Amino acid sequence: MNQILRAPSLRRQNRHLLSHGILILWSAAVLFPLWTMVVNSLKFKLDIYKDPFALPVKWNWGSYASVLRDGDFFVYFRNSLLVTVLSIALVVFFGSLAAYAVVNHRNRVTRFFYLFFIAGMMLPIKIGSIKLLEMMKALGLLNSIFALYPIYVAMGIPIAVFVLTEFISGIPYDLTEASIIDGAGRFRIYAQIIVPMLKPALATVGIYNLVPFWNDLWFPLIFITDDRSKTLLLGVTRLFGQYITDWSKILAVLTLSAIPVLVLYLLMSRQFIKGLTAGAVKG
């Protein structure tokens, strides 16, 4: 009898060991490039070529000092931070409004717009780069970070509507009906009832769009040539030379640019995990 009871427990333990082993290997695969980047940013150029995976023989903090002192790092950092944070805020705001309308006004029009947003997830926005360049030129937004806002909002809205529609659909409609009976308007219901219950989903949408917005090089490269309006990754391209490339400075800039992403993820990770768990339970 004891052997029969032990068999399922042993199978569960083996499954746990297997899953933990896979997660450890995946974590190592993800962390290894970050480790290599940070370690090589603290080396001299010749040491990088000798052994890129070893610890520094002599620690070189001069690359960080040079980047922070001599370059336009803080200008590029400010531009990237403004574009990323404000774009995510606009995506979350307009995406939640659209999802709220789709859920509470179910008809052919809202169904069409919902399918229209879903179709936006299937088509990469980069295929319209030439037309977008013409539009930004017509609007007078070239060489300005304001040219990036409508692009990033358009990139983030489809996934935001898709995720938030599913979460809002799971909120009991009795709450909305009770609020309407009490005299609350639609926007008050949205602001005071729907949004507080959507925090995990909003964090999920925010983190999902954080990395593509922050790491985007394609659209800044097309729209911006003015040094004062360049984003961080676009500014890094100034460090690439035709014959000599200062990899220490490049890796130092990339290391510094990774810090905001990690900080924002840590701040929103709890809500992000709740959002993933809620979606998994619902599915």
Say yes or no to pLDDT of 11 above 70.
no
Query: Are residues 264 and 188 part of one domain?
Result: yes
d(CA 236, CA 251): 9
Q: Are 167 and 277 in contact (CB under 8 A)?
A: no
> How many other β-carbons are positioned within 10 Å of the β-carbon of residue 45?
15
Longest dimension (CA), the chain: 79
Query: Are residues 274 and 178 part of one domain?
Result: yes
Query: Whole domain around residue 16: which residue ranges?
Result: 2-50
- Range in 29-38, 142-151, 271-280 the model is least confident about: 271-280
Say yes or no to pLDDT of 260 above 60.
yes
Query: Are residues 99 and 9 part of one domain?
Result: no
Bigger pLDDT: 241 vs 239: 239
- Range in 15-19, 167-171, 237-241, 242-246 the model is least confident about: 242-246
- Range in 2-6, 59-63, 101-105, 204-208 the model is least confident about: 2-6
Query: Are residues 213 and 162 part of one domain?
Result: yes
* 112 CB burial (10 A radius; 0-12, 13-18, 19+): exposed
Q: What's the whole-model pTM score?
A: 0.80
d(CA 270, CA 265): 9
CA dist 4 → 8, 11, 18, 59 (Å)? 8, 12, 22, 59
Say yes or no to pLDDT of 42 above 70.
yes
Query: Are residues 37 and 91 part of one domain?
Result: no
- Range in 43-47, 70-74, 94-98 the model is least confident about: 70-74
At 185 the pLDDT is 76
d(CA 62, CA 68): 10
| Contacts by residues 239-247 (CB-CB < 8 Å, ≥ 24 positions apart) | 246/45, 246/63, 247/40, 247/45, 247/48
At 172 the pLDDT is 76
Query: Are residues 29 and 76 part of one domain?
Result: no
Query: Are residues 238 and 103 part of one domain?
Result: yes
Q: Are 203 and 275 in contact (CB under 8 A)?
A: yes
d(CA 175, CA 87): 30
At 274 the pLDDT is 62
| Domain count along the chain | 2
Q: Are 205 and 213 in contact (CB under 8 A)?
A: no
Query: Are residues 41 and 86 part of one domain?
Result: no
* Domain membership flag for residue 109: yes
Q: Find, among 55, 17, 160, 18, the residue nearest to 102 by Cα.
A: 160
Query: Are residues 248 and 148 part of one domain?
Result: yes
* Domain membership flag for residue 60: no
Query: Are residues 24 and 140 part of one domain?
Result: no
* Domain membership flag for residue 166: yes
Query: Are residues 42 and 80 part of one domain?
Result: no
* Domain membership flag for residue 59: no
At 41 the pLDDT is 87
CATH classification at residue 229: 1.10.3720.10
